[in-house]
Structure 1
Amino acid sequence: MLGENHALMYEYPEHKEKIQQLKQSDEAFAQMAKEYHDLDHQIRGLEVNGVPTSDQHFVELKARRVSLKDQLHQRLMNGA
């Protein structure tokens, strides 16, 4: 769906407290979460505002977001 918010809190509402804890206690998690947030914001902006961009660039942004989401989820499940 175009313009859908994929923020970690929406993707994993059952882990809201753990996400906040890891953002404060795990620098690597915090950096990945920030990059994920920034990418999600950028992608939504492109979708909602119809900003011209190449398909390749758009796919690369979305692929990076998925990769980060997978890494963040793994850290949430493993606790590190």
Structure 2
Amino acid sequence: MSENGHDLHAEFPQHRAVLHDLKVENASFRELSARYHEIAQEISRIEAGIEPASDQRLEDLKKHRLQMLDQVSAMIAEKQAA
């Protein structure tokens, strides 16, 4: 899957406004978002054969991406509860 399929707005399309607000207001979210984007791009390059990596490295990156999505989801829920 391309990196665009793993963009935060694609992952959470119903929360576009909340994602925007978090990016504007929350430095921790900005850092998490930037790191998520970097990892998603790296996964995309590996899957496309542009960047070499072991299967274990790819698996580790995908797990990390999922953990980051959990963090984003928690931040969205916290923002909505406020």
Q: TM-score range by the shorter chain?
A: 0.7 to 0.9
Whole-Å separation in 2 of the counterparts to 1:38 and 1:47 = 14
When the two chains are superposed, the root-mean-square deviation of aligned CA atoms in Å is: 1.6
In the alignment, what sits opposite 1:3? 2
| TM-score normalised according to structure 2 size | 0.86
In the alignment, what sits opposite 2:67? 67
| TM-score normalised according to structure 1 size | 0.88
Structure with the bigger percentage of helix: 2
Structure 2: which 5+ runs fail to align? none
Of 30-39 and 3-12, the range deviating more from structure 2: 3-12
Structure 1 position 3, deviation (Å): 2.9
Give CA deviations for 1:7-46 in whole Å, capped at 9, x if unaligned: 1100111100110110110000111011111111110111
Alignment-mate amino acid for residue 41 of structure 1: Q
Structure 1 position 53, deviation (Å): 1.1
Structure 1 position 50, deviation (Å): 5.2
- Structure 1 residue runs of 4+, over 6 Å off? none
Structure 1: which 5+ runs fail to align? none
User: What is the total number of aligned residue pairs between the two structures?
Assistant: 79
Whole-Å separation in 1 of the counterparts to 2:74 and 2:43 = 23
